[in-house]
Amino acid sequence: MLYLVGLGLGDAKDITVKGLEAVRRCRRVYLEAYTSVLTVGKEALEEFYGKELILADRETVEQEADSILKEADTCDVAFLVVGDPFGATTHSDLVLRAVKLGIPYKVIHNASIMNAVGCCGLQLYNFGETVSVVFWTDTWKPESFFDKIEKNRQNGMHTLCLLDIKVKEQSLENLMKGRRIYEPPRYMSVTQAAEQLLAIIQNRRLQGEEPEINENTICVGLARVGAPDQKIASGTLHQMSTVELGGPLHSLIVTGTMHPLELEMLKLFSVDSSSFENNAFQRTT
């Protein structure tokens, strides 16, 4: 049996009882280590689970999936995912490979940022398409995610922006020369994401457009959701470009039309209540 086990968002104890029971009876246990991170390290998980964990990076999962599935038809193998097992499409690929090999699988769900984001008070059924905001480079500055945020906002929907994670990435030079040298991990902050959105707004204005989203659009910054030191800040997009929320992981929400109850909840986390009052009432129902 292949078990895909969600670990939740906080620390080692966020695993479900069902998930922990599965992990403890498995012969091999893999920890997916590139789509998200927990606030604790591999060693803390091993101590709590009572199992040695095998780190599975992007290369392992996407190129060497057969090694994960090896002998899973005759023994139990667990694949641990921070959040919920189906938060990333590569995990669906693992399931499809297992099915083709005749290996049965079981999914044990857990909380993910997709539902835990409700902690800020915005109602989950008012969210539109989720987008990923990627790190820009000097030569690559995509804006497609901005168009999706605008479309959501035009429809009155909030947008959850998942911010980029760079783990075990290679520089172009090392990649071309075949050197297995990796860059230090990088995690996009709310500040960086807001700065990129503001840059896109300026670009659009230079092209003669007036974007649906501007400096005064109410946004929410979230950091380490589910952890004891979780932080939430609400305010304008401009304020999000200067807010300090500490270590990773961060997420950003661009609001759409807000119900009065949603607005009242966001006030609990406001960076500056006066500017919040001046702008937020423009888009309430």
From CA 131, how far away is CA 115, in angstroms rounded?
Answer: 15
Q: Do the Cβ atoms of 266 and 120 come closer than 8 Å?
A: yes
From CA 6, how far away is CA 10, in angstroms rounded?
Answer: 12
From CA 163, how far away is CA 188, in angstroms rounded?
Answer: 6
Residue 87 assigned to a binding site? yes
From CA 196, how far away is CA 180, in angstroms rounded?
Answer: 30
Residue 91 assigned to a binding site? no
Residue 113 assigned to a binding site? yes
Instruction: Name the CA radius of gyration of the chain, rounded.
Output: 21
Residue 175 assigned to a binding site? no
Residue 84 assigned to a binding site? yes
State how far the alpha carbon of 203 is from the alpha carbons of 200, 207, 208, 266, in Å: 5, 6, 9, 29
Q: What are phi and psi of 93, to 5 degrees?
A: -60, -40
Residue 112 assigned to a binding site? yes
Residue 166: exposure state from Cβ atoms within 10 A (0-12, 13-18, ≥19): middle
Q: Do the Cβ atoms of 216 and 241 come closer than 8 Å?
A: no
Parallel, antiparallel, or unpaired for β 2-6 and 77-81?
A: parallel
Q: What is the DSSP letter of 22?
A: H
Listed in sequence order, the residues at least 6 apart from 65 whose beta carbon sits closer than 8 Å to its beta carbon are: 93, 94, 97
> Would you list which residues are annotated within the binding site for S-adenosyl-L-methionine?
9, 84, 87, 112-113, 163, 225, 250
> Would you list which residues are annotated within the binding site?
9, 84, 87, 112-113, 163, 225, 250
